[in-house]
Amino acid sequence: MPTSSPLFEVLPRDLSAYRQGNTGVDYVHRFESGKPGPHVLVNALTHGNEICGMVAATHILDSGVRPKIGTLTVSFANVAAYESFDIEDPFKSRQLVHNLNRVWGAEQLEGTEDSPELQRARLLRPVVSAADHILDIHSTSQDVVPFWVYPAFSRNAQVALAIGRPPVHLVMPNGLGSGTPLVQHGRHGLADSGAGAAMVVECGQHFLQSAADLATRVALDFIAHFGLIDADPARPAPGPQRRFELLETHVIQSLDFRFARPVVGFETFAKGELIAVNGPEEIRAPVDDCTIFMPSQSVVIGKEAVYLTKPLAN
C-alpha cells in the first residue's frame, strides 16, 4: 500500500532564527499586551512534516502580529523531527520515535519511557497548560478536503462554526481512541473544566501551497475570534458546514493490513460493508453512510489505520 508521490510546492526552511524565544523553552514565543484578555496558543509542527503550520507560525512572527488584549503564544513543537526531513522519504519526518500528538496524558508525561517526543512534550507541558485557547495546526498525507478535529464540547464547536473555514468538522465524543492528543491535555480534555477552546485544524496535503495559505488564514481567524487582533474585513461569512462524529479508531495490527478498495479519505460505506482487513480482523462499517477519515497510506504496526465516522445533523 505505497504512499503516492506528493507535489512539493512548500518545503521546510531553516528555523534556527526562531529558536531563541522568550519563555525559557526553545522555539516558543510569547507576546503580552499588558491588557486583560485571553491567552491564545498557536502551535505548529506537532508532526515534523506538516509544513503548513510552520508557514503560519513564521508569518505571525515575521509580520509583527501582536495582541491588543491578552496574550499570544506561538510555538514550534517537534522541530527535531522537522529537521530530519528528507525529500526522498518526506513522510518519515512526521516523528522520530513517538507520535507527539498521542503522548499528552499523565501516564506518558509522568512515566519512565523516554524519546525525543516525550522530552519535548515535557518541556512544552507548561506552555500548553497556560493557554486558555489552543489552535494546533496539522495537515494530511492525502489531498483531501480540510477539516477541524475537536473534542465534542460546545466551546469547541462554537468557535469552529463561527470561524467557518474549513467547513468540515470531525467531532470526538470520546477522544481519538489511540492516545491523548495535545488539545486534550489536562483541563482541555475535560467537559466541565472551565477551559477554553482547544482544536486541531487539518489544512490539506502537507506540501501544498493551499494548505499553507489556509493554515495562515485560520490561525489569524482564530486569534481574531478571541479579540487579540482585528478580524480581516474581507473574511467571507461562514457558509454551509458538515459535521461528522468519530465512531471508531482502528490501529494497524498486521503487516497484511489492506483496504477493501483504494481510498484517500471521505469515502462512504454502507452498514456492514467491508472497509479493510487488519490481520484476522475485518473492519466493517458500523452504520450506513459511514465516512472514513485519514486512511493510512502505509502499513506500520501500531499506526492508526482509519477513523470511522457518521454524519451529524447541523
* Tens-place pLDDT, residues 249-269: 999 999 999 999 999 999 999
* Tens-place pLDDT, residues 86-96: 999 999 999 99
How large is the average pLDDT for residues 160-189?
94
The pairing of beta strand 281-284 with beta strand 290-293:
unpaired
Report pLDDT for 4: 56
Residue 171 pLDDT > 70, yes or no? yes
User: Are 100 and 43 in contact, with CB atoms under 8 Å apart?
Assistant: no
Residue 108, domain member (yes or no)? yes
Residue 53 parent element (H or E): helix 51-62
- Calculate what percentage of the chain has a pLDDT beyond 70: 98
Q: Which domain holds residue 277?
A: 246-312
* Tens-place pLDDT, residues 122-165: 999 999 999 999 999 999 998 999 999 999 999 999 999 999 99
* Tens-place pLDDT, residues 189-237: 999 888 899 999 999 999 999 999 999 999 999 999 999 999 999 888 8
Regarding whether 263 and 143 lie in a shared domain, the answer is no
* Number of domains present in the structure of the chain: 2
Three-state SS at 171 = strand
- Calculate what percentage of the chain has a pLDDT beyond 90: 89
Gap between the Cα atoms of 127 and 272, Å rounded: 44
Residue 286, domain member (yes or no)? yes
* Tens-place pLDDT, residues 59-78: 999 999 999 999 999 999 99
Question: Is the N-terminal amide bond of 166 cis, ω within 30° of 0?
Answer: yes
The pairing of beta strand 133-140 with beta strand 258-259:
unpaired
Residue 237, domain member (yes or no)? no
Neighbours of 92 (CB within 10 A): 15
Report pLDDT for 314: 64
Report pLDDT for 110: 96
The pairing of beta strand 198-205 with beta strand 133-140:
parallel
Residue 156, domain member (yes or no)? yes
CATH number, domain of 98, equals: 3.40.630.10
Gap between the Cα atoms of 158 and 296, Å rounded: 30
Regarding whether 145 and 45 lie in a shared domain, the answer is yes
Compute φ and ψ for 161, nearest 5 degrees.
Answer: -65, -35
Regarding whether 192 and 302 lie in a shared domain, the answer is no
In the predicted model, what is the mean pLDDT of the chain? 95
Residue 2 pLDDT > 80, yes or no? no
Report pLDDT for 6: 78
* Tens-place pLDDT, residues 42-54: 999 999 999 999 9
What cell was used for 15? 528555523
Report pLDDT for 176: 82
Q: What is the dihedral of CA 223, 162, 168, 312, to 10 degrees?
A: 140
